[in-house]
Structure 1
Amino acid sequence: MKGNQKWWLLSTIIWMLVIFLVTQLPYFTGDHTAKALNKVVIKEHTMADVGRGFIDELNFLIRKASHLSAFGILAFLLYKVMGSYRFAWLVAFLYAMTDEWHQSFMPGRMASVKDVLIDGSGALIFLFLTYLVRRKRKKAA
């Protein structure tokens, strides 16, 4: 393994640990993020006229965007280690499945097939963008 690949592997392992630890922390449940958003949007910005529906929608968007990006980053890192788009996506998707399974054992958390699909979609999107960037660089060279 080349020296550069060792750093990509280390980065991948660290990122997987970050995902694992975030799954364990009670601060990242839907209720906690909704309370934090409520505090920031309504109390800090004096937007008292904002309804609960807005907070719920914002909470949903932030949480799903974090799923999408977390597993997209993981897929990119896996690609840098493996050099294969397919295997990088497969490992990211399998890790998403195990992460949701792990989450099902955490108090206040629940597993969701939808989240696995969002995670897999994030991996696919990031890998597709990686492919496009690599293709563009090859054409420019």
Structure 2
Amino acid sequence: MEQKDQKRPPVWLLAAWASLIFFTSCFFISIDVWIAFIKRIVPIPAVQGLFALFWYHWGFYVVKGWHATEYAVLASLLFLTLRRRITRISALALSLVLAAAFAASDEWHQTFVPYRDGCLRDVLIDTSGATLALIVWAVKTRRG
């Protein structure tokens, strides 16, 4: 009986992660709506004020950091899924190409979502996250 590769994630996990990225890009939540939501769940005025101050100043970076993280995870799942099927270098390259293509297609998709737009900057941020993750995997899986 063939033993299942424990280091390769199930394909459904990759599909679920890609679906999560797509699903979250189907909506627009303004800063004011986000802060109002937090105010409802955190009834402490001082915390509400600090959160609003933080979010108005740093929210952009949090959101873009999340973009990079989403695509770092996507690229990692792609690499782990592909690396036992094709060569390591091919898996790294194909993972980057697929993650970048998914980022571009997701930005294009956002041009159809009310109050959202697609932008090259986000494709570059997403692809940077994927690239950083794949550099880590390249170093981690290097032989010798």
Give the TM-score normalised by structure 1: 0.76
Q: 1:124 to 1:74 in 2, by over 3 A?
A: same
Structure-1 separation of matches of 2:13 and 2:51:
41
CA distance in 2: counterparts of 1:19 and 1:49, whole angstroms: 30
Classify 1:51/1:33 alpha carbon distance in 2 versus 1 (closer, same or farther; 3 Å): closer
SS in 2 for 1:111: coil
State the AA in 2 paired with 1:20: F
Structure 1 counterpart of 2:27, one-letter code: L
1:119 aligned to 120, 126, 130, which one?
Answer: 126
Question: Does the alignment pair 1:129 with 2:108?
Answer: no
Give unmatched runs, 5+ long, in structure 1: none
Aligned counterpart in structure 2 of residue 102 of structure 1, from 94, 106, 109: 109
CA distance in 1, matches of 2:27, 2:4: 33
AA at the equivalent of 1:69: T
Contact 1:12 1:74 in 2 (8 A): yes
2:34 & 2:49 partners in 1: Cα distance?
A: 20
What residue identity is the alignment partner of 1:9? V
- Structure with the largest fraction of helix: 1
Once residues 106 and 135 of structure 2 are traced to their aligned partners in structure 1, the CA distance between those partners, rounded to angstroms, is: 23
Identity %: 24
| Contact in 1 for aligned 2:9/2:77 (Cα 8 Å) | no
Partners of 2:111 and 2:118 within 8 A in 1: yes
Superposed CA offset, 1:104-135 (max 9, x none) = 11112111110000000000001111222223
Distance 2:8 2:57 in 1: 40
Counterpart check, 1:78 vs 2:85:
no
Q: Aligned partners of 2:26 and 2:125: how far apart in 1? A: 19
The answer on 1:17 being equivalent to 2:4 is no
Q: TM-score, normalised by structure 2?
A: 0.75
Letter in 2 for 1:133: K
Pairwise CA RMSD of aligned residues? 2.9
Match of 1:24, SS? Answer: coil
